[in-house]
Amino acid sequence: MRHRCAHLVTLVAALLVGGCRHDVASEFRLACSLDRDCSAGWRCDRAVGQCESGTLAAVPDTSTAVPEAATVSETAAVVPEISTVDHGCERKTCAMLGKTCGIWDDGCGGQTTDCPVCECAGVADCNDSNACTTDACTNTKCVNTAIAGCCTSGSQCDDGKVCTADVCSSNKCVSTTMAGCCTSASQCDDGNTCTTDSCASGQCLHSPAPGCCGDVSCPTLSGYTAGCNAAMACEYTPNDSSGWHVWDVWIYVPPGSFSMGSTAGAPDEKPVHLVTFSKGYFIGKYEIVVAQYEACQTASPCTAPSTADFNGCAETGLNTSANGRGKHPQNGLKWPQAKAFCGWVAPGGRLPSEAEWEYAAAGKTPREYPWGDTPEPTCTNGTAQFAVAGCGCGTNMTAIAGDHANGGSTFGVQDMAGNLSEWVEDCWHASYSGAPVDGSSWTDCSDYSARVIRGGSITGLASDLRIASRSGDAPTNRNADVGGRCVRPLP
């Protein structure tokens, strides 16, 4: 065995001086068998299963010193390549550590040198092009450590909150609260008792609450059922709708302020002044209807109407059930008669103040007519019954109450322009100087004994249908173009 190991020593010495040889053409084998031969220039001793030196080719001139134990013939041998296939020698050199690759020598036994896997010689070798890692080279190994809170895309910044917009900016997560976004219903409270507030998918939802019309809460009125009319106002229909009760319909006018009068109108419509109602009230949807008034007569509080002082155009005459006008507004009423009816038809019933009447016609926003600034009234657009081609659009009479649906006010009150003019509570004054600003009646009649009449009529022109238009008459006069309308207080 000594002479075989001597050859090995020579080869190992050559390898240690020259480093790992990756380009040696021949293959070096120390062990052999029946099915495994030796390298070129070696013969196999089958008895012991070892390769022995034979006739070797000349070795090219080399500067490597020959150890004393080696013979000339041994050093002249071609240095065979160590087989990575058979021996798994990993030929890498870690130059900065001064280490060479290992040799697996199954002939003499054992691994003579340990060769680590070298990944880096410095931090430049470890750059992973990731802005969110710190790169280092430690013991020839690259170490890439994630930077806490660093990001490369917005998806890494999602904080799970529906009300934040999450973005990655300059490798930093930025979460911005979104305006109007919600996480609970309490954040959606709009202070309106007429909405049910909820939060869904970050959005506040406001649904109409039961018992409300728009943003107005409808108060309870005993004996009536509240609902929302086409104008989204609270409208009350009687639980008993038989006979005359079908006309006993009320509309709630909520508290609020409005500008009363007109800057462009007659002197008696000035000065324009702000009126504020601290409480709401109910106003009749319709003018006093013939069937209602006749029921009041039957009950005795009401006395017979008459047109003795003005009979209208072409003998308009008195509206009665007998002449087929039971659904028309009742004309021929004196101021006291209209007032008496209102006291009978509802608890606390009365004539409206002039301010209550105008507010019910106009609402909070100034307008020319109860239905708006346009269209101009005609006899064919369903706005009013007035003096065109004679009285009452050529019919010389009134129309059925509420028949001009396009002429409804901002609250849905009918016939506030045309059909009949209406008595109100106030005494007549030539201007609004000194008028109440709280919506109450102006009952100082020291200047005039006349009472105010509002709204156009079958005998009035289009200009008389303007909301701000007003006139007055002696409270005892009985005219074919004058009737009334009632209000009632909150319970």
Q: What number is the average pLDDT over the span 464-471?
A: 97
CATH number of 393's domain:
3.90.1580.10
Cross-strand pairs, 3:
none
Q: What is the DSSP string of 402-457?
A: T--GGG--TT----SSSS-EEEEEEEP-SS-TT--SSS------SS---EEEES--
**Percentage of the chain with pLDDT > 90?**
63
Does residue 253 contact residue 360 with C-beta atoms inside 8 Å?
A: yes
Does residue 282 contact residue 221 with C-beta atoms inside 8 Å?
A: yes
pLDDT of residue 51: 67
Cross-strand pairs, 143:
136
Domain count along the chain: 2
Look up residue 289 and give its DSSP letter.
B
**Element holding 206 (H helix, E strand):** strand 203-208
- For residue 211, is it within any domain? no
List alpha helices for 29-105, DSSP H: 72-75, 84-87
Least confident of 38-42, 54-58, 323-327, 329-333: 54-58
**Percentage of the chain with pLDDT > 70?**
76
Does residue 487 contact residue 350 with C-beta atoms inside 8 Å?
A: yes
> How far, in whole angstroms, is CA 360 from its chain's centroid?
33
**Element holding 357 (H helix, E strand):** helix 354-362
142-165: b or e for each residue (b if 16 or more CB lie within 10 Å)?
eeeeeeeebbeeeeebeeeeebbe
- For residue 179, is it within any domain? no
Q: How confident is the model at residue 23 (pLDDT cuts 50, 70, 90)?
A: very low
- Report d(CA 56, CA 186) in Å as an integer: 97
**Element holding 370 (H helix, E strand):** none
- Report d(CA 488, CA 219) in Å as an integer: 13
- For residue 106, is it within any domain? no
pLDDT tens string 237-252: 999 999 999 999 999 9
- Report d(CA 373, CA 383) in Å as an integer: 12
Q: What number is the average pLDDT over the span 260-266?
A: 95
Residues 422 and 280 in one domain: yes
Q: How confident is the model at residue 30 (pLDDT cuts 50, 70, 90)?
A: low
The residue from 81, 97, 113 where one domain ends is 97
In this structure, the strands spanning 451-454 and 421-427 are antiparallel
- For residue 140, is it within any domain? no
The residue from 56, 77, 97 where one domain ends is 97
- Report d(CA 153, CA 132) in Å as an integer: 11
pLDDT tens string 89-104: 333 334 444 433 443 3
- For residue 356, is it within any domain? yes
pLDDT tens string 180-203: 899 999 999 988 888 899 999 899
- For residue 132, is it within any domain? no
Return contacts of 185-194, CB within 8 angstroms, 24+ apart: 193/217
> Does the pLDDT value for residue 85 go beyond 70?
no
Residues 236 and 93 in one domain: no
Does residue 188 contact residue 197 with C-beta atoms inside 8 Å?
A: yes
- For residue 168, is it within any domain? no
Q: How confident is the model at residue 37 (pLDDT cuts 50, 70, 90)?
A: low
Strands of 54-201, DSSP E: 133-138, 141-146, 164-169, 172-177, 195-200
Least confident of 83-92, 112-121, 460-469: 83-92
Domain that holds residue 48: 2-97
In this structure, the strands spanning 421-427 and 482-484 are parallel
- Report d(CA 41, CA 60) in Å as an integer: 15
pLDDT of residue 149: 86
- For residue 217, is it within any domain? no
pLDDT tens string 271-293: 999 999 999 999 999 999 999 99
The residue from 97, 124, 140 where one domain ends is 97
Q: What number is the average pLDDT over the span 462-470?
A: 97
Q: Which residues are CB-contacts of 74 (< 8 A; sequence separation ≥ 6)?
A: 6, 7, 10, 53
